[in-house]
C-alpha cells in the first residue's frame, strides 16, 4: 500500500522476481484474506522472527526458524498492497498509514532480533536500526516534498535486506566466527559485528548522499527569497 499520487521508484536487484512471485501468490489467495490481515500477518511474523533469534542463544538452528519468519514477513508485506490493487479496493490514506507505521515496528523487531541473538552485539544492531529508520523517514519526506515514493535505493530494498539477513544467519550456523575478536579502540568486535557495522555505515552514507543531492535539486526548485527590509 502506498501513496497513489507519488511516483513509485523501484530499482532493486530482485524487483522482477519479487513482483512476479507476489502476484502469483495474490492470484491464489482466498477471497476471505484481506489486505489488513496480510499487514498484521507480516507483523506477527516479525515478532516470531525476533523470538527465534533470541532462542538461537540456546541452539543456533533456531536461525532456520527466524529465517522462515522473515520469508513470511516478506509475503505479508508484499501481499497487502498487491491484493488491494488487484481487487480494486485501495484505501490510499489508510493503506499508506497502516503499512508504514507497521514497517517502522517490524524494522525495529528485525534489528532487535539480531541484537538479542548470538550473532552480534545489541549496540551494533541498534546502530543498524537507526540507519534504517533514518532512511525510512527520508523516504516518507521525499514522498511528500518531491512526490517520489522510493521503495529502493540503488539495487537494494527491503527484499534484498531480508535476503542478506537470512544469508548471514545461515552462515552463522555453519561458521560461528564469534571466537575471532578484533580490537578497535579498546573494544572487541566479532566478524559479524563488523558486518553489521558496515551495513549501518552504508545506510547512513546513503542517507547523507541522497539528502545532499535532493537538497541541491530543491534549492533550484524552491530558491531563497530576497530579503526586503522595511
Q: For residue 215, give the C-alpha cell.
A: 537538497
Burial class (CB in 10 A: 0-12, 13-18, 19+), 155: exposed
Q: Is residue 230 part of a domain?
A: no
Give domain status of residue 1, yes or no.
no
Q: 32 lies in a domain?
A: yes
Sequence-distant (6+) residues with CB within 8 A of 154 are 11, 206
| DSSP assignment letter at 153 | B
Instruction: Characterize the bridge pairing of strands 148-150 and 7-9.
Output: parallel
Is residue 229 in some structural domain?
no
Sequential pLDDT tens for the chain (230 residues): 444 555 666 677 777 888 899 999 999 999 999 999 999 999 999 999 999 999 999 999 999 999 999 999 999 988 988 888 888 888 888 887 888 889 889 999 999 999 999 999 999 999 999 998 888 888 888 888 877 777 677 677 788 889 989 999 998 998 877 666 676 766 778 888 888 999 999 999 988 988 888 888 888 877 777 776 66
Residues 60-66: contacts with CB under 8 Å, at least 24 apart: 60/118, 60/172, 60/173, 60/176, 61/173, 63/117, 63/119, 63/169, 63/170, 63/172, 63/173, 64/170, 64/173, 66/113, 66/117, 66/169
Could you list the residue range(s) of the whole structural domain that residue 53 is in?
A: 7-221
CATH number, domain of 20, equals: 1.20.120.1760
Closest CA to 172 of 72, 82, 74, 53: 53
| Number of C-beta neighbours around residue 212 at 10 A | 9
How many domains does the structure of the chain reveal?
1
**Packing angle, helices 92-116 and 35-55, rounded to 10:** 10
43 part of a folded domain: yes
Is 108 part of a structural domain of the chain?
A: yes
Q: Does the residue 227 lie in any domain?
A: no
CB neighbourhood size of 214 (10 A): 17
Residue 9, Ramachandran bin (φ over 0: left; ψ between -120 and 50: alpha; else beta)? beta
Q: Is residue 228 part of a domain?
A: no
Q: Are 199 and 192 in contact (CB under 8 A)?
A: no
Number of other CB atoms surrounding residue 103 within 10 Å: 21
Amino acid at each position: 500500500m502506498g501513496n497513489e499520487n507519488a511516483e513509485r521508484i523501484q530499482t532493486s536487484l530482485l524487483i522482477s522476481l519479487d513482483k512476479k512471485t507476489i502476484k502469483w501468490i495474490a492470484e491464489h489467495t482466498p477471497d476471505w484474506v484481506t489486505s489488513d490481515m496480510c499487514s498484521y500477518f507480516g507483523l506477527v511474523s516479525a515478532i516470531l522472527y525476533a523470538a527465534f533469534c533470541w532462542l538461537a542463544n540456546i541452539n543456533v538452528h533456531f536461525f532456520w526458524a527466524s529465517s522462515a519468519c522473515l520469508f513470511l514477513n516478506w509475503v505479508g508485506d508484499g501481499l497487502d498492497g498487491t491484493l488491494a490493487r488487484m481487487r480494486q479496493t485501495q484505501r490510499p490514506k489508510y493503506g499508506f498509514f497502516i503499512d508504514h507505521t507497521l514497517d517502522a515496528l517490524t524494522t525495529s523487531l528485525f534489528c532487535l532480533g539480531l541484537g538479542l541473538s548470538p550473532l552480534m552485539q545489541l549496540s551494533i544492531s541498534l546502530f543498524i536500526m537507526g540507519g534504517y529508520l533514518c532512511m525510512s523517514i527520508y523516504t516518507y519526506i521525499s514522498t511528500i516534498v518531491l512526490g517520489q515514493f522510493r521503495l529502493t535505493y540503488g539495487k537494494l530494498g527491503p527484499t534484498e535486506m531480508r535476503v542478506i539477513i537470512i544469508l548471514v544467519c545461515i552462515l552463522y550456523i555453519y561458521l560461528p566466527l564469534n571466537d575471532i575478536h578484533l580490537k578497535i579502540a579498546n573494544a572487541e568486535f566479532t566478524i559479524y559485528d563488523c558486518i553489521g557495522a558496515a551495513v549501518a555505515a552504508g545506510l547512513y552514507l546513503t542517507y547523507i548522499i541522497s539528502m545532499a543531492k535532493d537538497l541541491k535539486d530543491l534549492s533550484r526548485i524552491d530558491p531563497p527569497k530576497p530579503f526586503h527590509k522595511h
